[in-house]
Amino acid sequence: MFCEYILPYRIDDEPLVYWREIYYEKYNSLLDSLRMSDELDKEDPIIVANYLRKRLPIKKYHFTTFIPGKLGHLGSKYVQGLSGSCRDATDFGIYLYTALGIPCAIDFLPM
């Protein structure tokens, strides 16, 4: 599980950037109250992921459906801006969760 869902440092073809420490330092404190709590199962990755998602700073995400065919993944630096396609929003989640040790992956549903 660690090698497949936490360890990878790239999603696909985005630029190589040292991003894990940046995400960890920025978002790790959101889990402090969970760590001190006795109410929730702190070992269940689904509970931790939902807890984290609910505590992210509230910002409106600006979606666009335009994705040029040859444009690759934007990378960890740019998806924090919370604008782009659904793929960019998914990339942000992947960077966030893996930096905090929460296993995750991308699933694809053709529309």
List the chain domain ranges: 2-99
Along the 111 residues of the chain, how does pLDDT read in single tens digits?
Answer: 777 777 777 787 777 888 888 889 988 998 998 888 887 788 888 889 989 888 887 666 666 666 555 566 666 666 666 667 777 778 888 888 989 989 888 887 666
pTM of the model: 0.77
| Secondary structure string (H, E, C) spanning the chain | CHHHHCCCCCCCCCCCCCCHHHHHHHHHHHHHHHHHCCCCCCCCHHHHHHHHHHHCCCCCCEECCCCCCCCCCCCHHHHCCCEECHHHHHHHHHHHHHHCCCCCCCCCCCC
State which amino acid sits at residue 93: G
